[in-house]
Amino acid sequence: MSRQSATQRSVSRALVLVAVGMLAFVNLLPIVWGFATSLKTPTDVFVSPPQMWGFTPTGENYANVIRGSFGRAFFTSILYALGTTVVGLAVTLVGAYALDRLRFPGRRFVFYAMVACVPLAIGAAVLVVPNYIYFATLGWTNKWYTLPLLYLALHIPLSTWVIKGSIEGIPTELDQAGKIDGLSNMGVLFRIILPLCRPAMFAAGILIFIGAWNEFLAGSVMVRDAEFKPVQVAVYQYITAFGRHWGPLTASAILAVVPMLLLLVFSGRHLVNGLMRGSVKG
């Protein structure tokens, strides 16, 4: 780098900025365009050439969408995602600690099962049919706990993996010091381990929240009553219900993406770290 001249450096810097700009354009444009459309009246939507601005914005689409089934589903999904995140993190923390620090019979098996379940959870589309059949047999479909239960199962392996990775980095001497001071295993976990692996907890929590918020397939079939339907299903139902009425459609899509954008803006660093931690450490 040191041999490059000043002009070369500023050219390459400009190229980098242009490339980042292009990336931002491709990734942001659908959201911006969707947002513009969601503020249009049906006539404005069909104006050609398409207008990004210069039309009179209306909040009508949003009002319609919120009054309809979407508003309720949005609220339901907030509860699902929060509940799944809190319970998931509690289970995961204890599980990851046990897996990393305790020696118990079958630990090897549990460990491999956990690692195997990380990618297995990607196959949710294939799992949804057998899951549906046996949930139906047990009478577990269409209940308030149906979807949170599934979301927990889908996300616990990955978050265990992320948190275990962080616990590994905490020296065992700290545990021993705690034990000498009279702490139990649980005491060590909550007094020593928990404060030290807070970033990993945060990262895992975000991954669980995003996963629960964005899940669609199970949500679309496992529950029937409107009060249990999650937000993605509400968006999808607008696709079939409104057909080409892009105003309310984009309004619902934008509303469904707002919580995720907020997460990204306020804790993007944790999300990025979580993904990088959870992935390629093998």
Taking 3-state DSSP, the helix, strand and coil percentages for the chain, each rounded to the nearest 5, stand at 80, 0, 20
Buried b or exposed e, range 102-135, using 16+ CB within 10 angstroms:
eeeeeeeeeeeebeebbeebeebeebbeebbeeb
Using rule CB under 8 A, residue 236 touches other proteins: yes
Which residues between 4 and 23 bind other proteins (CB under 8 A)? 16, 19-20, 23
CB of 106 to other proteins, least distance (A): 12
Which residues between 127 and 146 bind other proteins (CB under 8 A)? 127-134, 136-137
CA distances for 140 relative to 12, 120, 147, 224, angstroms: 59, 22, 10, 12
Contact residue for other proteins among 73, 250, 251, 270 (CB under 8 A) = 250
Q: Residues 79-98: x/- map of binding to other proteins (CB under 8 A)?
A: --------------------
Name the nearest CA neighbour of 218 among 155, 148, 138, 156: 148
Of 109-117, 172-180, 183-191, 195-203, the segment contacting other proteins by CB under 8 A is 109-117
Q: Which is nearer to other proteins, 191 or 266 (CB)?
A: 266
Q: Residues 55-84: x/- map of binding to other proteins (CB under 8 A)?
A: ------------------------------
Which residues between 155 and 214 bind other proteins (CB under 8 A)? 157, 168, 210, 213-214
Q: Which is nearer to other proteins, 174 or 272 (CB)?
A: 272
Say how many residues touch other proteins, by CB under 8 A: 85
Residue 202 backbone class (left: φ over 0; alpha: ψ -120 to 50; beta: rest)? alpha
Name the nearest CA neighbour of 214 among 77, 61, 69, 84: 77
Q: Which amino acid is at 241?
A: A
Contact residue for other proteins among 89, 193, 203, 257 (CB under 8 A) = 257
Number of neighbouring beta carbons within 10 Å of residue 137: 9
| Cα gap 213→135, rounded to integer Å | 21
Using rule CB under 8 A, residue 271 touches other proteins: yes
Q: Which is nearer to other proteins, 49 or 182 (CB)?
A: 49
Using rule CB under 8 A, residue 34 touches other proteins: yes
For residue 239, give every residue at least 6 positions away whose Cβ sits within 8 Å of its Cβ, in sequence order, or none: 249
Of 2-10, 68-76, 186-194, 274-282, the segment contacting other proteins by CB under 8 A is 274-282
Of 81-89, 171-179, 190-198, 261-269, the segment contacting other proteins by CB under 8 A is 261-269
Using rule CB under 8 A, residue 43 touches other proteins: no
Provide φ and ψ at 257, rounded to 5°.
-95, -15
Contact residue for other proteins among 105, 106, 123, 243 (CB under 8 A) = 123
Q: Report which DSSP code applies to 122.
A: G
Contact residue for other proteins among 6, 26, 102, 180 (CB under 8 A) = 26
CB of 113 to other proteins, least distance (A): 7
| Cα gap 159→152, rounded to integer Å | 10
